Amino acid sequence: MNKSLHNKVIWICGAKSGIGLEVAKQCLVLGARLCISSRDGQVVEELQGSVKALKCDANSQEDWQQCADQISQEYGQLDIFIYNAGDCIYVDDVDIKPGDFKTMMNINFHGMIKAAQVTLPLLKKTDNSQFVGMASSVAWLALPRAEAYGSSKAAAYYFLKSLRLDLSNYGIDVSIICPGFVKTPMTDKNDFPMPFLVSAERAGREICQGILKRKPVIHFPKRFTYLLKFIACLPHFLQFRICRSFVK
């Protein structure tokens, strides 16, 4: 990997654990000037001293604006923004709870919209900037129990694809991250087998390589993501038969 993140100002939302933490470590290795926003405004011990810590609940427009103002004042530019914050709630026994859907949409989708509102003006002022958003490979194919999580990630995926078109006139690239299963505190809660599970370290490397290559869609592990893409291309009755076999 080359050193092309050297001196870039990168802001990651959600880097206290899992994928975001590993992306943060890679960004530092590659020489970035890193800002991390989290709900408590703290960073994990191993990153302390190397990064600027900001306090931002992804659901608070006020927090977003304050962070953007701080970054603008301190650096005067923003090269790359990465929206990684997220959570997952599965639907059990087809018990549809509107509150769970709201929680999923708020953190996985509306938080990203709030972030875009304050980061795009900064990215527009910087040459060759990038907006990177976390979706999921679940956005391509409806899976059982994923009514809430999958809907929020599909919304994020569509938003990012559409944004990519509109930002092309401004010289801002948009990258959409679509991982398969990654071992993190979020997936440690899962009670089902996760095919082709990869480590958070590998996810961090794949994401940073994808950002460096300015890939429109960063997806991994390929054996899993191409399989999902293939199933999603099949006629609906075949998709149904395959995906129904995953129902417990």
Binding residues (CB under 6 A) for ligand NAP: these are: 14-20, 38-39, 57-59, 84-88, 107, 134, 136, 179, 181-182, 184-187
Can you tell me the distance from the alpha carbon of 94 to that of 226, in angstroms, rounded to the nearest whole number?
28
Q: CB of 233: closest distance to ligand NAP in angstroms?
A: 21
**Closest C-alpha to 29, from 1, 9, 71:** 1
Q: CB of 108: closest distance to ligand NAP in angstroms?
A: 6
Q: CB of 179: closest distance to ligand NAP in angstroms?
A: 4
Q: Around Cβ 169, how many Cβ atoms within 10 Å?
A: 7
Q: CB of 104: closest distance to ligand NAP in angstroms?
A: 9
Residue 166 tokens, joined = 């509109």
Query: Which residue is associated with the tokens 């103002």?
Result: 69
**Closest C-alpha to 59, from 102, 16, 90, 100:** 102
> CA 146 → CA 30, 93, 136, 153, distances in Å?
35, 12, 12, 10
Burial class (CB in 10 A: 0-12, 13-18, 19+), 142: middle
Nearer to ligand NAP, 77 or 231 (CB): 231
Nearer to ligand NAP, 179 or 210 (CB): 179
Q: CB of 187: closest distance to ligand NAP in angstroms?
A: 4
* Residue at shortest CB range from ligand NAP: 86
Can you tell me the distance from the alpha carbon of 95 to that of 97, in angstroms, rounded to the nearest whole number?
6
* β-bridge partners, 179: 220
Q: CB of 71: closest distance to ligand NAP in angstroms?
A: 16
